[in-house]
């Protein structure tokens, strides 16, 4: 099995999801550091035409888009399976992954986490409180729906961890660094308990932003 190579900015939640999946599979991988200021350079755009991370290399095969990468890893390293076999559970997994991408990240996390964490820490910006307040109703709706989908189960789809848990936990664990997280999550005890259980898994402990920064090598 060729080693997997993940190009990322350490801290990227999408890339962390890929690393969590590789850890769950115990697959060999290494991390190549992408500097935030290089996303629009010709070299990076040749790897990712939309100027984002993560990018996966597996031998001479290159892939971008986290859902595609996660499903590829699950297909080429079948055990432990991260997709339920049963059709309804598998479609629940797909649904949660799309909630993550379309409703949690787009218009909620990419506003609140940018305003609170990325802008201030990386770009010296001051948080735009009006922009944050404007997305809170959508954020509340997303957290409520995620809590409803989880219900009293241990995982979002099926009896064991799936790609849905992995994609979502990477996003929510990053979101936890914002002051908005507590009022959004506190009404949903099941979601908080799931997040704590997930965060204690070795695959999450191995992929914290600090651990990824320590293992990342320059390209």
State how far the Cα of 153 lies from the Cα of 143, in Å rounded to an integer.
16
Q: Which is nearer to ligand GSH, 66 or 203 (CB)?
A: 66
Residue 162 near ligand GSH by CB under 6 A: no
To ligand GSH, the closest distance from the beta carbon of 111 in angstroms equals 12
Among 10, 13, 84, 158, binds ligand GSH (CB under 6 A): 13
Q: Are the beta carbons of 63 and 53 closer than 8 angstroms?
A: no
Give the residue closest to ligand GSH by C-beta.
52
Three-class DSSP category at 108 = helix
To ligand GSH, the closest distance from the beta carbon of 209 in angstroms equals 11
Integer Rg of the chain from CA: 17
Q: Which is nearer to ligand GSH, 51 or 78 (CB)?
A: 51
Choices 45-53, 73-81, 146-154, 207-215; region in contact with ligand GSH by CB under 6 A: 45-53
- Percent helix, percent strand, percent coil in the chain, to nearest 5: 60, 10, 30
Among 25, 44, 47, 52, binds ligand GSH (CB under 6 A): 52
Q: C-alpha angle 140/166/57, rounded to 5°?
A: 130
Report CA torsion sign: 83, 89, 92, 198: negative
Site string for ligand GSH, 14-43 (x = CB under 6 A): x------------------------x----
Q: Which is nearer to ligand GSH, 110 or 147 (CB)?
A: 110
State how far the Cα of 34 lies from the Cα of 57, in Å rounded to an integer.
14
Residue 175 near ligand GSH by CB under 6 A: no
Q: Whose structure tokens read 């190549």? A: 32
To ligand GSH, the closest distance from the beta carbon of 152 in angstroms equals 29
Q: Which two tokens stand for residue 217?
A: 């090598």
Site for ligand GSH in 57-86 (CB under 6 A): 65-67
State how far the Cα of 109 lies from the Cα of 202, in Å rounded to an integer.
25
Contact set with ligand GSH (CB under 6 A) = 12-14, 39, 51-53, 65-67
């Amino acid at each position: 099995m060729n080693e997997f190579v993940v190009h990322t900015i350490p801290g990227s939640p999408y890339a962390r999801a890929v690393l969590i999946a590789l850890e769950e599979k115990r697959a060999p991988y290494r991390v190549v550091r992408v500097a935030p200021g290089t996303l629009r350079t010709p070299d990076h755009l040749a790897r990712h035409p939309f100027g984002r991370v993560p990018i996966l290399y597996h031998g001479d095969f290159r892939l971008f888009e986290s859902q595609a990468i996660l499903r590829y890893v699950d297909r080429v390293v079948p055990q432990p399976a991260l997709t339920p076999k049963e059709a309804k559970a598998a479609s629940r997994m797909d649904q949660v992954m799309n909630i993550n991408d379309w409703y949690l990240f787009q218009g909620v996390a990419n506003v609140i986490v940018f305003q609170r964490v990325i802008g201030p820490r990386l770009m010296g910006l001051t948080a735009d409180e009006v922009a944050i307040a404007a997305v809170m109703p959508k954020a509340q709706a997303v957290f409520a729906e995620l809590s409803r989908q989880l219900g009293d189960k241990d995982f979002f789809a099926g009896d064991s961890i799936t790609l849905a848990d992995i994609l979502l936990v990477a996003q929510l664990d990053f979101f936890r660094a914002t002051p908005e997280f507590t009022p959004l999550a506190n009404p949903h005890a099941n979601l908080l308990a799931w997040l704590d259980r997930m965060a204690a898994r070795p695959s999450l402990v191995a992929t914290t932003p600090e651990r990824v920064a320590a293992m990342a090598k320059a390209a």
